[in-house]
């Protein structure tokens, strides 16, 4: 019988927890959580999306996105505007301050990614990414 430590789902979850904790420490000086940076990343590419659209892209529920958006708005990194075509929907826009903080955090994120990636060879990293995509793709 397998121990919990031998299950792939446990190993992925444990790895995620360790990496998220390390990322939180790196992002702390910027008053930004790693998950919040994902919203900024999406808005950087496609400003003016609804909370629902962002939730679909991040595979997060409405309540989670609304909470993160509320926190980002309080920090001055985004603004939420009612969609004139759908009064129930809120569109999110990155503010100038949000763009500035995102640029700073992106540098930190890249360094962190390089640090983690340097623990394996380029070939191992390519294979690892291939396997992760395979495990997480929808059938």
Report the pLDDT value the prediction gives residue 137, as an integer from 0 to 100: 86
- Domain 4-136 fold is Arc Repressor Mutant, subunit A (1.10.10)
18-69, pLDDT tens digit by residue? 999 999 999 999 999 999 999 999 999 999 999 999 999 999 998 999 999 9
Q: Where are the domains of the chain?
A: 4-136
> What is the Cα 29 distance to its own chain's centre?
17
Considering only CA atoms, which of 109, 116, 117 is closest in space to residue 30?
109
What is the rounded CA–CA span in Å between residue 135 and residue 98?
33
What is the rounded CA–CA span in Å between residue 68 and residue 8?
29
Phi (first) and psi of residue 88, to 5 degrees: -85, -20
- The three-state secondary structure class of 2 is coil
102-138, pLDDT tens digit by residue? 999 999 999 999 999 999 999 999 999 999 999 988 7
Report the pLDDT value the prediction gives residue 139, as an integer from 0 to 100: 65
Give DSSP secondary structure letters for 56-102.
HHHT--HHHHHHHHHHHHHTTSEEEEEETTEEEEEEEEE-HHHHHHH
């Amino acid at each position: 019988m397998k121990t919990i430590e031998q299950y792939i789902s446990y190993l992925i979850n444990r790895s995620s927890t360790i990496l998220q904790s390390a990322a939180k420490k790196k992002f702390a000086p910027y008053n930004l959580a790693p998950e919040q940076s994902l919203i900024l990343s999406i808005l950087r590419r496609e400003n003016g999306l609804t909370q629902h659209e962002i939730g679909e892209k991040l595979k997060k529920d409405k309540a989670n996105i609304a909470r993160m958006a509320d926190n980002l708005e309080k920090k001055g990194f985004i603004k939420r505007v009612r969609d004139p075509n759908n009064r129930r929907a809120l569109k999110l826009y990155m503010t100038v301050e949000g763009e500035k903080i995102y640029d700073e955090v992106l540098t930190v994120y890249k360094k962190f990614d390089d640090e983690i990636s340097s623990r394996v060879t380029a070939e191992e990293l390519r294979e690892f990414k291939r396997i992760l995509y395979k495990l997480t793709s929808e059938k």
